[in-house]
Amino acid sequence: MFLKKQLVVIPGIILAFVLYTLSEGINNIIGIELLGYEKSPISTAMIAILLGIIFGNIFEIRSTFLIGLDFTQKNILKLGIICLGIQLKPFEFLEFGMIAIPLILVCIITVLIVIKLVIKKLKIPRGMAYLISIGSTVCGTTAIIATAPVIGAKKNEVSYAIANITVFGIISMLAYPYFADFYFEGNPLLIGLFLGTSIHETAQVAAAGLIYDQQFSSPETLNIATVTKLIRNTFLVIMIPLFAFLYNRGQTQEKKYSIIKIFPYFVLGFVAMIIFRNLGDQIFLISTNDIWSSTVNKIKLLSKIFLTMAMAAIGLSTNLRDIKKMGYKPFLVGFIAMATVGLVCIGTIEIYINFFN
């Protein structure tokens, strides 16, 4: 029985891998064969998610694949992020974190205030407003799903909030890498902080960082964006109890929540991979340098394969027809949330630049 449950995810995982392979092939044909570059300047991750959206909305995805696609979005993605830790040094994690935390706090507080004012004007359901708020400020769909039970949100509110976060997350994921490169003049630190703070989902941040890396050859930006987003994810531990208190205050029976269930444990795997890389550098650098270097490069490649597979799965699972059913009010709130996070992030980074330079 256990083996049968494990096997049901295989078709979806294979489909995501096939789409990754197709995207890589298309990328090489366009970038290397047609344009004549030694390395394609086009992002495989961007091709994968766009192909996923196209195929997912032209063809009906069979239920046989859906379980595996969901597994890929959640678990293969986390595995890809953990593998990204092989590129970092411990002091880099701490250095980026010290800069990212104040930036994240400013963005969270500002967006919550703005959304609070907006929902009074638009009069959308209170539960949906809370879900869009935490999805925009912390970690997208994960935050929405974790918050819904503690505020007693209805199923349609959860569905609309997730659709909202998905559409604006995809827009920012595809547009922000190019905008950030232009606005911050190719500065890896500032671009990474912006991508990690202003884009909703962990998967979308990883994709944006990967797109930027593949487009502008900047693995440092991918590292900084990932670290910033993982730190942002840990704020879920604070925000869920806060939202539970704000939403349920004055009620006789409050919903319960579990810190253990909502903590993003894959962050610990990411940190463990950083430690593994640095221990390996110290132990193997002199005697078996080639073997260790090959191991590191293989893990780096795996991280990009896993992340691109997750992007393909997200694209295949994005139903544009469901998004059309949202109505304009939740859509407007989502747009305001996205714009607020982006603008506040830019403003805070500008203050950081002026203060420290």
Q: How far is CA 106 from CA 192, 232, 260, 313, in A?
A: 17, 12, 26, 32
Q: How far apart are CA 229 and CA 349, in angstroms?
A: 16
Burial annotation 84-123 (CB, 10 A radius, 16+ → b, else e)? bbbbbeeeebeebeebbeebbebbbebbbebbeebbeeee
Q: Looking at the predicted structure, is the pLDDT value of residue 266 above 60?
A: yes
For residue 28, how many other CB atoms are within 10 A of its CB? 16
Q: What is the structure's pLDDT at 18?
A: 93
- Contact (CB, 8 A) for 87 and 28: no
Q: Looking at the predicted structure, is the pLDDT value of residue 238 above 90?
A: no
Whole-angstrom Cα Rg for the chain:
20
Q: What is the structure's pLDDT at 180?
A: 93
Residue 323 or 154, more confident: 154
Q: How confident is the model at residue 15 (pLDDT cuts 50, 70, 90)?
A: very high
For residue 301, how many other CB atoms are within 10 A of its CB? 11
Name the token pair of 69. Answer: 């696609």
Q: Say which residue the tokens 């995982």 belong to.
A: 13
- Residues in Cβ contact with 208 at an 8 Å cutoff, skipping those fewer than 6 apart: 172, 173, 174, 176, 177, 195, 199, 225
Percent of the chain with pLDDT over 70: 85
Find, among 189, 206, 223, 212, the residue nearest to 86 by Cα: 223
Q: What is the structure's pLDDT at 249?
A: 64
Q: Residues 14-43: what's their mean pLDDT?
A: 82
Q: What is the structure's pLDDT at 161?
A: 79
Q: What is the pLDDT of residues 176-234, one digit of tens each?
A: 999 999 999 899 989 999 999 988 888 788 888 888 988 888 888 988 898 888 888 87
Q: Looking at the predicted structure, is the pLDDT value of residue 92 above 70?
A: no
- Contact (CB, 8 A) for 164 and 331: yes
Q: How confident is the model at residue 37 (pLDDT cuts 50, 70, 90)?
A: low
Q: How many CA atoms lie within 13 A of 17 on its CB side?
A: 10
Secondary structure class of 187 (helix, strand, coil): coil
Name the token pair of 25. Answer: 């092939």
For residues 318, 322, 325, 326, the Cα torsion angle rounded to the nearest 10 degrees is: -50
- Residues in Cβ contact with 241 at an 8 Å cutoff, skipping those fewer than 6 apart: 257, 259
For residue 325, how many other CB atoms are within 10 A of its CB? 11
Q: What is the structure's pLDDT at 2?
A: 46
**CA angle at 91 for the pair 86 and 92, rounded to the nearest 5°:** 60
What is the pTM for the complete model shown? 0.75
Q: How confident is the model at residue 256 (pLDDT cuts 50, 70, 90)?
A: low
Q: What is the mean pLDDT of the chain?
A: 80
Q: What is the structure's pLDDT at 20?
A: 92
Q: Looking at the predicted structure, is the pLDDT value of residue 41 above 80?
A: no
Q: What is the pLDDT of residues 299-351, one digit of tens each?
A: 988 988 988 898 888 888 877 776 666 667 777 878 888 888 889 889 888 88
**CA angle at 144 for the pair 140 and 145, rounded to the nearest 5°:** 120
Q: What is the structure's pLDDT at 260?
A: 65
Q: Residues 115-132: what's their mean pLDDT?
A: 77
Q: How far is CA 253 from CA 84, 151, 158, 334, in A?
A: 43, 11, 21, 30
- Contact (CB, 8 A) for 311 and 205: no
Q: Residues 128-133: what's their mean pLDDT?
A: 81
* Helical pair 155-183 and 44-58, crossing angle rounded to 10 deg: 150
Q: Which amino acid is at 265?
A: Y
Q: How far apart are CA 27 and CA 51, in angstroms?
A: 12
